[in-house]
């Protein structure tokens, strides 16, 4: 499993809403996955230019297109795509061996529910514990 975590150095900038539920535990959960063999790339988006950050956001939207879930209004507005990407709303891009497209978290799934980074990481660790 390959993970790219876009996470700001200054966590005071994070939004305190459903998109970031459990976000304070994410660095430790990512470290657990890394110890279990996941490859992790950590990116501080505040160190990127606006253009480079938008390019990273564009790559992160590819799974949403293929799997038909929403990320645009998770990471920005209809008029300002990616304005919160990685800084106010951290992002996790996951590439698995069996799924070339991967996934992006957080995202809005069926029933207008937000699937958070924390939810994905805890589920992945549980699956590993259960031999999955």
60, 85 contact by CB (below 8 A): yes
The three-state DSSP-derived secondary structure of 33-52 is HHHCCCEEEEECHHHCCHHH
Q: What is the pLDDT of residues 68-108, one digit of tens each?
A: 999 999 999 989 999 999 999 999 999 987 777 899 999 99
Q: What is the pLDDT of residues 15-45, one digit of tens each?
A: 999 999 999 999 999 999 999 999 999 999 9
This prediction has a pTM of: 0.94
């Amino acid at each position: 499993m390959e993970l790219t975590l876009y996470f700001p150095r200054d966590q005071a900038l994070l939004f305190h809403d459903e998109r970031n539920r459990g976000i304070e535990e994410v660095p430790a959960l990512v470290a657990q996955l890394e110890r279990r063999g996941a490859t992790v790339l950590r990116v501080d988006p505040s160190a990127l230019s606006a253009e480079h950050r938008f390019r990273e956001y564009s790559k992160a939207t590819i799974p949403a297109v293929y799997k038909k879930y929403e990320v645009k209004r998770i990471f920005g507005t209809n008029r300002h795509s990616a304005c919160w990407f990685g800084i106010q709303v951290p992002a996790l891009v996951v590439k698995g061996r069996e799924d070339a497209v991967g996934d992006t978290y957080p995202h809005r799934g069926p029933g207008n529910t937000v699937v958070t980074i924390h939810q994905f990481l805890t589920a992945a660790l549980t699956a590993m514990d259960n031999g999955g």
